[in-house]
Chain A
Amino acid sequence: MSKFSAMTLLKGALTGYKNVEPQWPDAELKSEYDVIIVGAGGHGLGAAYYLAKEHGITNVAVIDKGWLGGGNTGRNTTIIRSNYLYDESARLYDHAVDLWDGLSQDLNYNVMFSQRGVMMLAHNVHDVQSFKRHIHSNRLNGVDNVWLTPEQAKEKCPPLNIAANARYPVMGAAFQQRGGTARHDAVAWGYARAAAARGVDIIQNCPVLSIERGPDGSVTGLQTARGFVKAKKIAVSAAGGTSVVMDTAGVRLPLESYPLQALVSEPVKPIFPQVVMSNSVHAYISQSDKGELVIGSGTDQYVSYSQRGGLPLIEHTLAAICEVFPIFRRMRMLRKWGGVVDVTPDRSPILGKTPVQGLYLNCGWGTGGFKATPGSAHVFAHTIAQDEPHPINAPFTLSRFETGRLIDEAAAAAVAH
């Protein structure tokens, strides 16, 4: 596979990109692997990449029931930030931001990571107090986050309505400059390309039917739509489908799968410089490099695997957007879609070992998994290779729901992640 560089870009431009080669082969399923990762999203492909790159384990397959990056990796609103309240979360998400920085060079694939800053609006006294607490906590953890007055927020983001009589008055904002966005598809493609180059097999459109366990309880392999495949270790990174897959191994989880919707507007010229989130009115917005406004909100209220949600939520979100950014009232929306997100009771992920020998779990990212992709994949690969969690993901156990040692970002943030 050719390495991308300024020279190949120039050559491609001059020759009209006529000889573009596939960036990874569509592999055939072998009969046995050292590690099989279930779920070819950013987290799964990334884990395969770091297994090969940092742990020398290359007899790896990443298997998916659909196409690569077709789940939540390709359905999210691409926001990246690490301004979480608790120490455990700050370490995990900030590890990801550290890896985002330099990921394009590492993968030799442009993931278009843009540290344009993430602004979180405070609309009431409670927001102000809560965000200031977050800022202090973040700064103690070495995570950049500063307080902006309404005027400073307006200066950074001119479309913002800071009028005193606004429906949702802006009383200030928390601002993380290192946060921003990345091109979500490119993250899946970049990891797939780099992992495949190191010998990882990527198997698409091959549903996993069950996880098989031997007489001693440890995993033996996977039953798939293309037959049985042996595996020494199995790592499940299947987002909304995790409960269904893990159920076949006899592991019941504290997860519920909800629809999470997003939508984009018609493309317009650059108007919106940052990512702006408004937790208390449930809306977040940024502008893609194509010019579309990318808008998201909270989950629908009911459990569903339908990959679509209801219109009332979209209406609620857009009503909030129109109040906070009156300039967008006449924008037309082009598309909306939904993903299925697996939500834990404390809104923190489960990332580590399971009671089953040889079975590893990366799930429960809820509405905010994309931002963590490189960090999560990196420590998940460590967990799989060493059969021990990395210090960063050690607190994110499945057993915390039994011990009560929760990482309660749900109570800390209350809403959208």
Chain B
Amino acid sequence: MLLIHCPYCKEKLPELEFEYAGQAHIARPDNPAEQTDAEWRDYLFIRSNVRGDHAEQWRHSHGCGRYFNALRNTVSDKFIATYEIGQACPTSHAEGEENNEQLES
């Protein structure tokens, strides 16, 4: 079971308290009426699906109920960081990998 740190509750808790909520940092288009079909496709459906460090949203549904972001490695399933909505992703993907190795060692 994943152990997930909620950045609002400041506590590491079992996965059962949380709901996964998809890839993070996908901004809704500012002018929906001006979007082409291809842009809508990219926004709605295309996902990075990276094999490596993945920025994603979780919701602490059985705790504080708030959404937050996380950086997690999709091969080891280890969390590299969790951070509040509105904050920037803490590391770039390449740097994240290094961090993850440090975590594992």
* Pick from B20, B46, B56, B77: contact of A306, CB under 8 Å: B77
CB distance from A138 to the nearest CB of B (A): 28
- In chain B, positions 36-63 with a C-beta closer than 8 Å to chain A are 37-38, 40-42, 44-51, 54, 56
Give CA–CA (A257, B56) in the complex, Å: 14
Q: Mark B4-30, 1 if CB is under 8 A from A, else 0.
A: 000000000001100110010000000
Say if the beta carbon of B75 comes within 8 Å of chain A: yes
Q: Mark B68-98, 1 if CB is under 8 A from A, else 0.
A: 0000101111000000000000000000000
Number of B residues whose C-beta is below 8 Å from A?
A: 27
Give CA–CA (A343, B24) in the complex, Å: 18
CB distance from B52 to the nearest CB of A (A): 9
Say if the beta carbon of A22 comes within 8 Å of chain B: no
**Are B41 and A306 in contact, with the CB atoms below 8 A?**
no
* Contacts A252-B46, A254-B45, A255-B49 given; does A402 touch B1 at CB 8 Å: no
**Are A254 and B56 in contact, with the CB atoms below 8 A?**
no
Give CA–CA (A35, B56) in the complex, Å: 37
Say if the beta carbon of A210 comes within 8 Å of chain B: no
Say if the beta carbon of B64 comes within 8 Å of chain A: no
CB distance from B56 to the nearest CB of A (A): 7
Chain B residue at smallest Cβ distance from A301: B20
**Are A302 and B46 in contact, with the CB atoms below 8 A?**
no
Say if the beta carbon of A403 comes within 8 Å of chain B: yes
CB distance from B78 to the nearest CB of A (A): 10
**Are A345 and B44 in contact, with the CB atoms below 8 A?**
yes
* Pick from B15, B23, B41, B56: contact of A402, CB under 8 Å: B41
Q: Which residues of A contact B44 (CB under 8 A)?
A: 345, 401
**Are A304 and B77 in contact, with the CB atoms below 8 A?**
yes
A-B pairs with beta carbons under 8 A, tally: 67
**Are B15 and A303 in contact, with the CB atoms below 8 A?**
no
Q: Which residues of B contact A256 (CB under 8 A)?
A: 23, 47, 49
Give CA–CA (A230, B79) in the complex, Å: 40
Q: Which residues of B contact A334 (CB under 8 A)?
A: none
* Contacts A302-B72, A306-B75, A311-B1 given; does A253 touch B56 at CB 8 Å: no
Question: Which one of A252, A257, A305 has the greatest number of beta carbons of chain B within 10 Å?
Answer: A305
CB distance from B102 to the nearest CB of A (A): 20
**Are A303 and B49 in contact, with the CB atoms below 8 A?**
yes
Chain A residue at smallest Cβ distance from B19: A301
Say if the beta carbon of A312 comes within 8 Å of chain B: yes
Question: Which one of B40, B41, B48 has the greatest number of beta carbons of chain A within 10 Å?
Answer: B41
- In chain A, positions 388-406 with a C-beta closer than 8 Å to chain B are 401-404
Q: Which residues of B contact A303 (CB under 8 A)?
A: 20, 23, 49, 54, 56, 74
Q: List 29 A-B contacts (CB under 8 A).
A: A243-B47, A243-B50, A244-B49, A252-B42, A253-B47, A254-B45, A254-B47, A255-B47, A255-B49, A256-B49, A257-B74, A303-B20, A303-B23, A303-B54, A303-B56, A304-B74, A305-B51, A305-B74, A306-B77, A310-B2, A310-B15, A312-B1, A312-B15, A345-B45, A401-B41, A401-B45, A401-B46, A402-B37, A402-B41
Q: Which residues of B contact A (CB under 8 A)?
A: 1-2, 15-16, 19-20, 23, 37-38, 40-42, 44-51, 54, 56, 72, 74-77
Q: Which residues of A contact B (CB under 8 A)?
A: 241, 243-244, 252-257, 301-306, 310-312, 345, 401-404
